[in-house]
Structure formats: C-alpha cells, structure tokens
C-alpha cells in the first residue's frame, strides 16, 4: 500500500542541489565570459573554451534551467542580465572567482553530519597549517566579495570624513583595497595572521596601493594592534570565532577606535529566533565542519559584545550587503 503522503519535500531537496552545481561548473569553466559579446551556439562556445561540444552541451541546458543562460532562436546561448554583470571576467562586479569558496563551503557542508557525530570539524580551516596553495585558493575565492564589500560600504555609508581604516582579519585585503580606491584621502591598515598576511601584501602591491595601505601580521584575539583608527571593518571574522574569542576580539578593536569612530561587522548574523536569514542558517552547516567554535552568532550576542567593548548606536541590517551578508554597524562611545 502506497503512503498517503508523497515525498515531495524530500525529492525537491534531492534535485534542488543541481542548479547550484551547474552554476559552479559554469564559473569553473569561465563559460560566461565568451558570451559577453553576444549569443553563441554550443559548438562555437565549446571552441572558444577549448572544450568538447558533446560534454559542454548538457551543462549549457542545465544553466538555462538554472536561469543563468537563455536560449536565443532555439539553438544559441546567451547570458542572462545578471550573469552578464556578475559572471563575466573583468567586469567591476565580477563574482566568478568565488567558485573556489563555494566548492570549499559546499564540500564542508556535506560532512556536517560526520562533524556533529565526531564533535569536531571534519575539514577544519586551520590557516596556520594550510598549505600556501590552499590558502591562496581560499582567499582568491573571497577576494571578489571583499572588493564588493569595500565598494558597498564606501558608497552606502559616509566615508568621506574618514582618514584611517583598520581592516581586521582582512584576508586578501579586498575591503581595504576597494575602500582606498573609492576614497582618495583614506589610508588603510590590514591585520591578518602571519601566514595569511603575505597574501594581503601581494594583493595590495598588485593594486598599486603600497604607499597607502600597510599590512601587519597580528592576532586580534590576542592583543590590540598599534595605532588609532576612525573606522574599522571586520568581514567574515566574528563568525569564525567562538563567543569568548569574539568578545575578546571586539574588546581589542574597541581599544584602537577613536571616540566617535565607526565599526562595521560584515558577515552572517542570525536573528534571535535562529531561523533567519536563510544564508546564515544554512552556512552554519558548513561552519560546523570547518571551525572548532565558529558559527553565525545571533543579533543579541553581537549587541552584548559590542556594548561591552564600548560601542553604541548599534544597527543590524540583515542580508543587506554583497552576497547576502548582514551588516552590523556601531559607533565608539
């Protein structure tokens, strides 16, 4: 006898994974870039990418179904407007390089059950132990998003009066680089762990900003950096830390922010119900497998830590930033 209830939700989830995987494959192959000049047949696109047509064709139709490509005249493929803005290499808003990050996070989420059973992360991110190759791939995946965050903050908030930016746990330095590119009077300092700092150094030199951006090797959880700053940004940092470490990091940041200065936490923040936003809820599955104690923390936790660190005028905007990140802003009292 057949059950009265159908496995509709189960099947929806079982097949719902494939559109994101099609997007990932398209980003890995950079197939959206040749389409910037207009529609192409599968054969022409395969030739441009030096790929076999019969292998590429199924992916192209999957990307049409995933709403990242469209069919023109029934046989030629074209980028959707969104793909043309964000997935064409060398566009200002390019996000295609994030495929390395997505591969990392999605692979980690696949081991969430194993991490819970073992009570330890199964694919732990330990930057002090990761190879230079893996570190480079990880932070290349984050760089386009970091640049987008720097541009977003400087155009959404009033950075014009600000002069000294502290980019805490800056990774590739993208936030600081983009902020300084947008604000000619702004100087920046990036602090990162000793093994990651050389990546930021290289990116700063590539951006020709070495005369305005300094990179320091330091651990914000252990001590406050030298200097005084009127604005600081912590992107994707608080979520990699447990509650005690997050509190210590914010206290150390609070010591070097001038009175009236601004702080921005950009990352994934949970509403106090822990049921939204969806990005934070589901990324916690990946965080279980890559961090010992890190996770998307709640708004209440952020407010408590910031108040203890001497910050006021705390504002939380969910899913407001690039990539669906939440933005917590505060002012040093």
Q: Per-residue pLDDT tens for 99-153?
A: 988 998 999 999 999 999 999 999 998 877 788 888 887 787 788 889 999 999 9
- The band of 155, judged by pLDDT with boundaries at 50, 70 and 90, is very high
- 274: tokens are 């822990």
Q: Are residues 149 and 65 in the same domain?
A: no
Q: Do 83 and 181 lie in a common domain?
A: no
The average pLDDT across 168-187 equals: 95
Range of the domain at 25: 8-91
Strands 69-72 and 326-332: unpaired
Task: Assess if residue 123 is contained within a domain.
Answer: no
Residue 220 confidence (pLDDT) above 90: yes
Is 322 part of a structural domain of the chain? yes
CA angle, 149 as apex, 174 and 277 as ends, to 5°? 135
- 81 exposed, middle or buried (CB, 10 Å; 0-12, 13-18, 19+)? exposed
With respect to residue 66, please indicate whether it lies within any of the assigned structural domains.
yes
Give yes or no: residues 68 and 154 share one domain: no
The answer, yes or no, to whether residue 1 has pLDDT greater than 80, is no
Residues 245 and 318 in one domain: yes
Residue partners of 227: CB distance under 8 A and separation at least 6:
164, 166, 189, 256
Q: How many domains does the structure of the chain reveal?
A: 2
Same domain for 154 and 62? Answer: no
Least confident residue range of 125-139, 154-168, 250-264, 290-304 = 125-139
What mean pLDDT do residues 213-224 have? Answer: 95
Residues 219 and 328 in one domain: yes
312-319 average pLDDT score:
96
Average pLDDT over residues 222-243: 95
Residue 267 sits in a domain whose CATH number is 3.40.50.150
Residue 117 lies in a domain: no
> Residue 60 belongs to a domain with what CATH number?
1.10.10.10
CA distance 19 to 59: 10
- Reply yes or no on whether the pLDDT at 313 is more than 90: yes
Q: Which of 91, 108, 124 is the last residue of a domain?
A: 91
């Amino acid at each position: 006898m057949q059950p009265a209830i159908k496995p509709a939700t189960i099947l929806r989830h079982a097949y719902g994974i494939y559109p994101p995987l099609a997007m990932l494959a398209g980003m890995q192959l950079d197939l959206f870039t040749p389409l910037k000049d207009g529609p192409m047949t599968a054969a022409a696109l395969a030739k441009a990418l030096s790929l076999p047509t019969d292998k590429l064709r199924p992916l192209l139709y999957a990307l049409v179904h995933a709403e990242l490509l469209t069919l023109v005249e029934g046989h030629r493929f074209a980028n959707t407007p969104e793909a043309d803005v964000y997935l064409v290499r060398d566009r200002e808003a390019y996000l295609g390089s994030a495929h390395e990050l997505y591969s990392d996070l999605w692979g980690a989420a696949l081991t969430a059950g194993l991490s819970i059973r073992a009570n330890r992360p199964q694919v732990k991110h330990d930057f002090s132990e990761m190879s230079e190759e893996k570190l480079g791939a990880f932070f290349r995946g984050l760089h386009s998003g970091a640049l987008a965050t720097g541009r977003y903050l400087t155009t959404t908030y009033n950075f014009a009066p600000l002069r000294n930016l502290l980019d805490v746990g800056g990774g590739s330095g993208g936030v600081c680089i983009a902020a300084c590119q947008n604000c000619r009077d702004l100087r920046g300092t990036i602090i990162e762990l000793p093994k990651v700092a050389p990546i930021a150094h290289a990116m700063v030199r590539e951006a020709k900003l070495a005369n305005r951006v300094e990179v320091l090797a330091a651990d914000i959880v252990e001590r406050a950096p030298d200097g005084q700053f009127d604005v600081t940004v912590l992107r994707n940092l608080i979520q990699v830390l447990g509650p005690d470490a997050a509190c210590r990091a914010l206290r150390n940041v609070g010591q070097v922010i001038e009175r009236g200065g601004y702080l921005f936490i950009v990352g994934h923040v949970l509403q106090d119900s822990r049921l939204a936003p969806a990005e934070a809820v589901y990324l916690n599955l990946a965080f279980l497998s890559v961090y010992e104690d890190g996770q998307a923390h709640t708004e209440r936790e952020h407010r408590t830590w910031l108040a203890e660190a001497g910050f006021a005028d705390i504002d939380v905007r969910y899913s407001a930033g690039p990539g669906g990140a939440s933005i917590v802003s505060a002012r040093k009292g």
